[in-house]
Amino acid sequence: MVSQAGKPLVAMRGIVKRFGAFTANDRIDLDIFSGEAHALLGENGAGKSTLVKILYGLLSPTDGEIRLEGDAVRFSGPQSARAAGIGMVFQHFSLFDNLTVAENIALVLPPGETLAGLDERIAEIGRRYGLRLEPARPVWTLSAGERQRIEIARCLLQDPKLLILDEPTSVLTPQEAETLFATLDVLRGEGRAILYISHKLEEVRRLCDRATVLRGGRVVATCDPRAESVRSLAAMMVGTHVVDVRSRGADALGPERLGVEKLSLTAEDLHGVALDQVSLSVRGGEVFGLAGIAGNGQDELFAALSGERTAASAGAIRIDGISVGREGINLRRQYGAAFVPEERNGHAAAPDFSLSENVILSRHATGDVMNGNLVDLPAAARLAREIISSFDVRASGVDPAARTLSGGNLQKFLVGREVSRRPGVLVLNQPTWGVDAAASAAIRQMLIDLARQGAAVLVISQDLDELFEISDRIAVIHHGHVSEPRATRKVTREEIGLLMGGASQHAH
Amino acid sequence: MSLQIFELVLFTILAAATPLVIAAIGELIVERAGVLNLGVEGMMICGAATGFAVAILTDSSEIGVLAGILAGMALAALFGLLTIFMAANQVATGLALTILGLGLSGLIGAQFIGLKRESLGHLYIPLLSDIPLIGKLVFSQDVFVYAGWALVVGTAWFLSRTRAGLTLRAVGENHASAHALGIPVRKIRFLAVLFGGACAGLAGAYLSLAYTPFWAPGMTAGRGWIALALVVFASWRPLLAFAGALLFGGATVLQLHAQAASIGLPGQLLTAVPYAATIIALIILSLRHRRGGAAPASLGVGFVPER
């Protein structure tokens, strides 16, 4: 189906991009042929996003050239890239929440094109590629899958020769991902090229004809992903073998340590989700996985569990049998609970504070770093050093600011900050979001080890791979409802995926 | 109340509301683009001083109006340069702009205190202007009042119906997304800020050339701040901003009548009525729109693209 003998549609040659002293792309060559699905693989920070931003005209390269069907091109901005036939679907969608679907699409029409007949054109694209859209709906009411359809339709209106997709399935349910793959197959059949950025290797093996692997800003391999295994692809990306997480044996579970009973909570703002009679129970020695697509009440549940928002009744939340629904976060910590919120910089950590100061932020309540009412700075520094060494956190300098750490290392530090206290209950929200494979594996291992010591661990995550890897039981949160938990061994990803997409369940 | 007095009261309400309408519409466009310019009062009073001074020097009110607009734009350009292109803090810069504008206006107007000019003429269309009530209110205003009305209708149409308006809203909603799509975020914001400055300058020129045709230091008397408040509580919608301005204008005029009728309350208390009434009405309005969503999501946040 792909004739690689011909000229490539896009040829990037010797692309270099420097930000100050940091080289994000180091002499990268990349060929993309018409009709092929080309995967761009690499860890976080490998330079994938920088490279596609250059290709889409968002960044200008420090050096190197781009040839489009043989002719050297220089894009002054995304408009000129779009005019040349390159479209892009962004990872964190480039949509406007308070505008309607049609308005979002109208924004990228070439200058001079009128809005008349736009609704029909959207409907036409929808019929051809299976992208159902309602032009008049405001974007904030839509699911991640629907939002992605807008982005794709927006690109297709301009009849692109190359479509770039940046981590397109990271926010989709398995079923939504299937729909996306079907659309991509149609596009490829029309002779369009697809540049597919992902770290989900199974997907890449299934979808792509060729793969280019980046590491540290350089091309380290070009291969046929179908001829490789997931393991060998991962090894190319990381440079070493990724250790598997050691699973736990079937240990005896202890009594309930974290209990939630009929917890209801109103939405805090326009785009929030209300919690409706949420009940769940996590026992000692157990990792409990709560799956769900972002924006289904996870943040509200986390806030209620941690005490950032209090429940209506004390009995709605219990820690080791003590009713804490009306208590604040510090008292809950004193009862043995610990919390790791989703947002690393700004919620879990103060970006401009040093690591030892960040230790104080969550550990002062339990007295580890306090001397009466005064802060014991040497103790905090000691604790920070302990966390750094026992959880293999790579940080530069003595006690650096939190924001200078990479996402994976900061997350290891923040999980370590809580785990090293040996809490009886640990609640985490998206613990490995945006974290590279090696650090993710380390964090998951920390959680399993903690559970093995008798703690109750609740992991809220969008990443089904992660939940199937580490949790004993899985439930799904959708529109503020939590489904009946199921033993991980007795449930399939498809069943969980359906629940994530909102399939009804008799329990509610 | 006889028809004539009623007519006169309504007429003066429209006149009192006009500078608020013009300045608020300007700021509304600025904020819809995601920029918070707290310097409205400063730009407005510079427009008033410059407009009056130039009108005296050239003996032309028209040139004076133009000069007032340009003075507002000049200050706005300074603000835009600092906040949009040099990423200075918008709140601090806006406050500084007000202080600068107040000082500058004193300097510009110093030579012109005590001078008077004829008010700008009012429209007169035979027959139409003679219709009772409507003729006086609709067909006998000065050019500023019509300009204010045109701005309200024009911006409402611009924001909801044109592509340029859509692009402006997108920039205010999410500048990162807008940039990713290749929309020139900083250019659009700068143009919006210039428009806001022009409107504030025009509103100021109205005060010194038509409303009270002389120059007095501090003559804007906080109208710039009222205009800012109107934008917020009007949920960034032009027609609501117009309604809010009418309410404030109405309260201003009624308290004057109340003082004239000497109803036995201290004058200072009555003078405070328009401000209190506006605040109360706006609170009620904003309570209805409590769940947010109306404010441009990127409002007040600076943007520096990497390239």
Render pLDDT for B200-245 as a digit per residue (tens, 0 to 9).
999 999 999 999 889 999 999 899 999 998 898 788 999 999 998 9
User: What was the pLDDT predicted at A321?
Assistant: 93
Testing the interface with A: which of B162, B167, B177, B307 to mutate, by most A Cβ within 10 A?
B177
Count other C-beta atoms under 10 Å from residue A277's C-beta.
13
Report all structural domains of chain A as residue ranges with CATH numbers, in order of start.
10-238 (3.40.50.300), 256-500 (3.40.50.300)
Mean pLDDT of A126-130: 84
Render pLDDT for A336-371 as a digit per residue (tens, 0 to 9).
999 999 888 888 999 889 999 999 999 998 888 888
Reported as a pLDDT band with limits 50, 70 and 90, residue A497 is: confident
Count other C-beta atoms under 10 Å from residue A255's C-beta.
11
The position carrying tokens 């809490």 is A423
Mean pLDDT of A412-424: 94
Mean pLDDT of B113-128: 81
Residues in chain A closer than 8 A to B181 (CB atoms): 78, 94, 107-108
Say which of A19, A79, A107 has its CB closest to residue B170. Answer: A107
Which residues of B fall below an 8 Å CB-CB distance to A? 163, 166-167, 169-170, 173-174, 176-183, 291-293, 297, 306-307
Dist. CA A479–CA A467, nearest whole Å: 20
Three-class SS of residue A55?
Answer: helix
**For residue A410, which of A391, A428, A383 has the smallest C-alpha distance?**
A391
Task: Judge contact between B209 and B92, C-beta under 8 A.
Answer: no
Predicted confidence (pLDDT) at residue A506 exceeds the cutoff of 50: no
Render pLDDT for B243-293 as a digit per residue (tens, 0 to 9).
989 988 888 888 888 888 877 778 788 888 877 877 787 677 667 655 445
Say which of B177, B291, B292 has its CB closest to residue A94. Answer: B177
Render pLDDT for A33-62 as a digit per residue (tens, 0 to 9).
999 999 999 877 788 889 999 999 999 999
Name which of A233-237, A419-423, B71-75, B95-99 the model is least confident about: A233-237
Dist. CA A411–CA A439, nearest whole Å: 8
**For residue A269, with 0-12 CB atoms within 10 Å meaning exposed, 13-18 middle and 19 or more buried, which class applies?**
exposed
Q: Are B306 and A59 in contact (CB < 8 Å)?
A: yes
Render pLDDT for A207-241 as a digit per residue (tens, 0 to 9).
999 999 998 899 999 999 999 888 888 888 877 66
Residue B97 Rama label (left phi>0; alpha psi -120 to 50; beta)? alpha
Predicted confidence (pLDDT) at residue A383 exceeds the cutoff of 80: yes
State the pTM of this model: 0.78
Residue in A closest to B169 by C-alpha: A99
Beta bridge partners of A280: A260
User: What was the pLDDT predicted at A503?
Assistant: 72
**For residue A427, which of A311, A324, A235, A290 has the smallest C-alpha distance?**
A290
Report all structural domains of chain B as residue ranges with CATH numbers, in order of start.
3-288 (1.10.3470)
Q: Are B163 and A97 in contact (CB < 8 Å)?
A: no
Say which of A77, A82, A96 has its CB closest to residue B177. Answer: A96
Dist. CA B211–CA B203, nearest whole Å: 10
Mean pLDDT of B28-51: 97
Residues in chain B closer than 8 A to A90 (CB atoms): 180
In this prediction the ipTM stands at 0.81
Q: Quick one: what percent of chain B has pLDDT higher than 70?
A: 96
Mean pLDDT of B20-32: 97
